[in-house]
Structure formats: structure tokens, C-alpha cells
Structure 1
Amino acid sequence: MSSDHDQWPTLDDLLREESELELAGLTETDAYELGVLAVTAAAQQRLPISVGVWRAGRQLFHCGLPGSTADNDGWLRRKGRVVMRFEHSSLYMARLCQDKQTTLTEKFALPASRYAAAGGAVPLRVRGTGVVGWFGVSGLPQLDDHRFVVDILGRLPR
């Protein structure tokens, strides 16, 4: 178990955070604006990340910033698959696996080549509809990826 595990949010904290990030809707324009907001913030901080927004299995936004790599894109997709499979943030699933001392492969027979329980992707939950997609980044340590995504989503109107 990592030494910073005690500084991670609890599962209850992460569930509360997810409910607070519920959106009124998610159109293609909303996804674009969310992506641009993330890219602008990341560029200002010179973060070497990949940014993605997906809805219903369709990628609506992607940008790889300077310093990011194709590996970041792969991690981003793997985290997003976790979100869509479990309808929780990829950090929630990482914490759950750590708390239960297991992996997604051991517990759910999910291949690590396609699923990553690592922070950085969150569900896009629409009020009255449920999870319709996900938003994520990859390129920073997983807690930083998660915090960046939550910060950006927190800037959107509810």
C-alpha cells in the first residue's frame, strides 16, 4: 500500500464528491466547452496531460498538451472504461481495490490492458438521467489527475 494512501479521500468522500458534480445536461457543445476549460487551465499551468470527454461511448473532445504522450492517451481510455463499467470515478475504484487488497483483474476478471483503477476519470452524471459519459485527464500522479478533473468540473454551472 502506498505511503500516501491515508491522504486519499475515503470512499464516502468520493461518493459525496460525485453527487456534488451532477450536471444539468451534456450536449456536444457542453463537452467541447468542458474540454476547452480543462485545456486552458492545463496550458496555463504547463501540465503535460491528455484531456478527454466522452458521452455514450463517443469521444466528443480530446487534446494532448505539450509533454503528453500516446501512453497518456492509453491510460485515459483505460480509466474511462472503469468509470463506464462501475459508474464511479477511477479513483473511487482504485481506493476500493486498495481497501480490499485486490485488483480489478482479481475481483472482476478485467484485463489491466483495458481497465485502469487509477485516479483521473470521473463520471458525467446528468440530473434525472444518470451516468452518460466521463471526463478525464492523464499525465500527472493519479491524485493530481483526479483533483484537476474535479476542480474543472466544479467550475461548471449546475
Structure 2
Amino acid sequence: MTAESPRMTVFDPDSGESQPKEALEALIARIEAEVGELQFPRFTKDDSLNLGLLLVELGKTRKLPIAIDITKGDQVLFHVALDGATPDNEHWIRAKQRTAARYEVPSLLVGLQGRLRGGRIEDQGWYDESTYAAHGGCFPLYVKGVGAVATVTVSGLPQQQDHDLVVEALREILTSMRTG
């Protein structure tokens, strides 16, 4: 007789329900692995355009109501709102982008690490929700040996889906850079 291993529950960052700490830790580990994996050999304005256009293609093909932004410092390298995106997405893009740029990790990871410490980062007195958002959808663009040089942000879907769409596009762009 063999014992079946219990299925790991997936952590839902949008849920207000109590969730297993192991599921939270597994999602944090997954995102930390993505940070290690998704490193560019370089990141140019042409690379920004290619990444932005890929996200547009994914969004249009799937009929996603998203806004997309790629920013380097104070310079917007790419920005578009697809059908269904709202003006609220602009606020979310900037707030998630500021969070990822400040901490140099994905915005989703900032929020999850706060939860791992027993709360929400948003509940800290110093955390200004009008400026920052610890919600998924913004991923720093890392160059090997340099660190974070820009950010790519998607807004319009539930935060985990925003994050996963960005990661999907980053994987595809990096694969094309390696084979091209």
C-alpha cells in the first residue's frame, strides 16, 4: 500500500481567506527562482520594443483588458493600453512600478514577503498606498552582472495573472535572444 502525497494548495494572493504557509512559501520560492532565471545579457531600447510588442500580441490574441509599460528610471520606453484597459490601470502601473524599482524585486514578491512576516506591507504606517502597490504585475528587468535596469509592468488582470503574463513574455524574449 502506498501513501499518496498530499496535493500542494496554490497560494492565491487575492484571497482574504487563511491559506497554508507552505503554499505561500512555495510561491515565494517560485518567484525568487524566476528572478534568478530571467536575466538579460543586455537590455536595449530595441529589446524594450520587442518585449512590449510581444506583450501586446499576447494581450490582443487573448483579448486581455491590459495596459503595458516598460520604464527605465524616469524614461518610459514603451506604454500602451489595450481594449478594455481603464484609467485605473495607469495608477496601478505606476504604483507597482515604483514598488519593484524601490525594492529591485517583482512587486508580487514584495507583497508576499510581507504576508510571510505575518501581515500585509500595506498595513505598515510608513507604506504609502497612493504611491506604492505590492501587487503582482511588475518585474524588474535584470542584466547579468549589473542588476535591475528597468521594469516591465502589466495591469488589468488579477495580480497573479498580471505577474504570470510578464514572466511568460520574459521567458519568450530571452529564449529568442539566445537562439537569435
TM-score, normalised to structure 1, is 0.92
The answer for unaligned runs of 5 or more in structure 1 is: none
Q: Quote the Cα distance in structure 2 between the aligned partners of 1:146 and 1:5.
A: 20
1:48-91 Cα shifts (integer Å, max 9, x gaps): 00000011231100000000011001101100101011011011
Change over 3 Å in CA distance of 1:4–1:126 after alignment to 2: farther
Aligned pair partner of 1:2 in 2, 7, 16: 16
Contact 1:25/1:126 (8 A) holds in 2: yes
Q: Quote the Cα distance in structure 2 between the aligned partners of 1:5 and 1:122.
A: 25
1:26-65 Cα shifts (integer Å, max 9, x gaps): 1111111110110011000000000000112311000000
Aligned pair partner of 2:137 in 112, 117, 120: 120
Contact 1:48/1:65 (8 A) holds in 2: yes
Q: Quote the Cα distance in structure 2 between the aligned partners of 1:108 and 1:133.
A: 28
Aligned pair partner of 2:107 in 90, 98, 103: 90
Contact 2:122/2:134 (8 A) holds in 1: no
| Shift in Å, 1:4 | 8.6
**Alignment-mate amino acid for residue 147 of structure 2:** G
**Is 1:149 paired with 2:166?**
yes
| Shift in Å, 1:154 | 0.5
Moved more, 14-23 or 99-108: 99-108
**Is 1:71 paired with 2:88?**
yes
Contact 1:104/1:112 (8 A) holds in 2: no
TM-score, normalised to structure 2, is 0.81
The answer for unaligned runs of 5 or more in structure 2 is: 1-14
Matches within 5 A, 1:6-155: 9-107=26-124, 109-155=126-172
Relative contact order: is structure 1 or structure 2 higher (C-alpha 8 Å, sep ≥ 6)?
1
